[in-house]
Amino acid sequence: MKIIEKQGKSTSKIISEFMAENNLQLDDFKFEVVEEGSNGFLNLFGGKPTKIKFLVPDVEEKIKEFTEGLLLRSGVANAEITVSLVNNVYKVDIGNVQNAGFLIGKDGKFLDSFEHILNQMINKVEKKKLRISVDVDGYRSRRVEALLIKVKSIIDKVIERGRSITLEPLSSENRRLVHQFVEKESKLKTMTVGNGRFKRIVILPPNAKKKQPRNNKSAKPGRN
């Protein structure tokens, strides 16, 4: 919670100027009048300015508040929510959920939708592009571990057979993880093919050239 103190001639003017300076709405902050101002003798001598203390939630607090609201709308109450900033990504971990399977959904689709909506809400309020990742009871961590084990097996096959292998469609975050993981195998390359949510990673054998597929103009090398 950020605390900002301002002073001026009147409460209304201080608040309006504060909102304009910080591009805020009334619902975005709380305030407390620390000291009422006075005009002084004949409005000339001994006057005191009005002092106001503003309380503005930081990004982590806003994310937690919006997450709680979305959970309540989804019928989930009393969940434990922690928010942390890791490598420029705000990680939202939701625990103590009675029906975690419902919140995750089949193949994590409900959780993906939850995360997408939360990202839209926060970025609209903050008016800048922030990345938010939501996990429930370590579900995504387990999925990432399983994904990388699978990718390691595919890497071995590519090296052994000398032929490229294309993975199933992955989220942008998982594609980034796979690109980074494959780069550890210095002899291998990756490229991305497809569009939107259907983008796939191709793992190429050693010394392979990243050629543009004949019927896929959207093929791109490297991390996408």
- 142 phi, psi to nearest 5 deg: -65, -40
Q: Quick check: helix, strand or coil at residue 193?
A: strand
- Give the per-residue pLDDT at 196: 77
CB 52 within 8 A of CB 35: no
**Element at 95 (helix H, strand E):** strand 89-95
- The CA distance from 19 to 53, in Å, is 13
- The CA distance from 60 to 69, in Å, is 14
- The CA distance from 217 to 32, in Å, is 59
Topology of the domain covering 142-221: Ribosomal Protein S8; Chain: A, domain 1 (3.30.1370)
The strand pair at 131-136 and 89-95 is best described as: parallel
Q: Quick check: helix, strand or coil at residue 33?
A: strand
- Give the per-residue pLDDT at 70: 95
CB 209 within 8 A of CB 164: no
- Give the per-residue pLDDT at 81: 94
- Give the per-residue pLDDT at 129: 86
- Please state the pTM of the whole predicted model: 0.64
- Give the per-residue pLDDT at 153: 95
CB 202 within 8 A of CB 209: no
- Give the per-residue pLDDT at 45: 55
**CATH assignment, 59-137:** 3.30.300.20
The per-residue pLDDT string of the chain (224 residues; one tens digit each, 9 = 90 and over) reads: 788 899 888 899 999 998 888 877 887 788 999 988 777 555 555 568 899 999 888 889 889 999 999 999 999 888 999 999 888 889 999 998 888 999 999 888 899 999 999 999 999 888 778 899 999 999 988 999 999 999 999 999 999 999 999 999 988 888 999 999 998 876 799 999 998 777 999 999 987 665 554 444 455 556 56
**Element at 124 (helix H, strand E):** helix 109-126
- Give the per-residue pLDDT at 181: 94
